[in-house]
Amino acid sequence: MMLDVFQKHLDDVSETLMTDDFDRYMTMVAVPLVVITEKATTIVSTTEQFRFGFESYAGMLRTEKATDLIRLAHSVTEYGPHLITGKLETHILRSGQRIYGPFQSSMSLRREGDHWLINSVVSPVHVEKWPINVQPESDGSWTVGPLPWDHE
């Protein structure tokens, strides 16, 4: 049953990214959100940080003309009735052709009232900061640029 809860949450969050629905996205994540990458641990705690990360990811999907953001739940560990951690695999497709992935990650969800909220993410992304500022290059590759608040 918890695997179904986790998969539904993954589907719903993916839908917000594919449809640019930031307000709905914010109802699915806890504030603050802990993001752990290969190189850093970041606490995302401001609307500015959430919006920037969301728009960067959604913008990358639009630029790449992604038609599908598929996140497949593989397993869930329950730590009580209000906390789960799940492992997942992400695929990004354009008209059925893979453009990114698959990559493995995990998310923890905590139930607050009737809602499950993502409160931490472990990602294989090789960046030192989150949210990432994904920028397209002329050769079709992607680079990670500076964040606006790093220059203040």
pLDDT tens-digit profile, the chain (152 residues)? 899 999 999 999 999 999 999 999 999 999 999 988 877 788 889 998 899 888 888 888 888 888 999 999 999 999 999 999 999 999 989 899 988 778 889 999 999 999 999 999 998 765 444 444 555 566 655 555 554 444 44
- Which of the following CATH numbers is that of domain 2-141: 2.60.40.1120, 1.10.1200.10, 3.40.225.10, 3.10.450.50? 3.10.450.50
For residue 93, give both structure tokens: 């497709």
Element (DSSP H or E) covering residue 31: strand 29-36
Sequence-separated (6 or more) residues with CB below 8 Å from residue 99: 64, 66, 92, 93
pTM (predicted TM-score): 0.82
- 93 CB-near residues (< 8 Å, 6+ apart): 66, 67, 68, 70, 99
